[in-house]
Amino acid sequence: SVNIPSTVNINKVSYRVTAVNAKVFANNTKVKKIVIPANVTSIGSKAFYNCKKVTSVTIKSTKLTTKNVGSKAFTKLGASNYKKTKVKVPASKLKSYKSVLVKKGLSKKIKITK
């Protein structure tokens, strides 16, 4: 399970997590669940590339667009069984996120809900 924190503390200073770096979870064969917090404004290219076993993704951010989500960020995510994989997004972004996520590699076989 990967629960990206909304803040991290370094040397007693709290920082907001606003990005998921490129290739950070690429080819990870153990991740099954991903939660992306509301603070995240960008996702790097191939961030979740080929995470085949993922069955659940929750995106709390409302700030993702085709410009700030890298290419192939979601390519082959849930590839071991696309029909079991579900992506939950904010209700206000359901329509636009369906487009953004598919453009960035998410399989059309994966169900995207609010």
Mean pLDDT of 97-113: 97
How much is the pTM?
0.94
Q: CA-to-CA distance for 81 and 85, rounded, in angstroms? A: 7
pLDDT band at 59; cut points 50, 70, 90 = very high
User: For residue range 8-37, what is the model confidence (pLDDT) as tens digits?
Assistant: 999 999 999 999 999 999 999 999 999 999
SS3 100: helix
The Cα-based distances of 4 to 17, 57, 67, 83, 95 in angstroms read 8, 11, 21, 24, 24
b/e code 38-54 from CB counts within 10 Å (16+ = b): ebbbbbbbbbbbbbebb
Considering only CA atoms, give the Rg of the chain.
Answer: 13
Mean pLDDT of 62-73: 97
Mean pLDDT of 84-91: 97
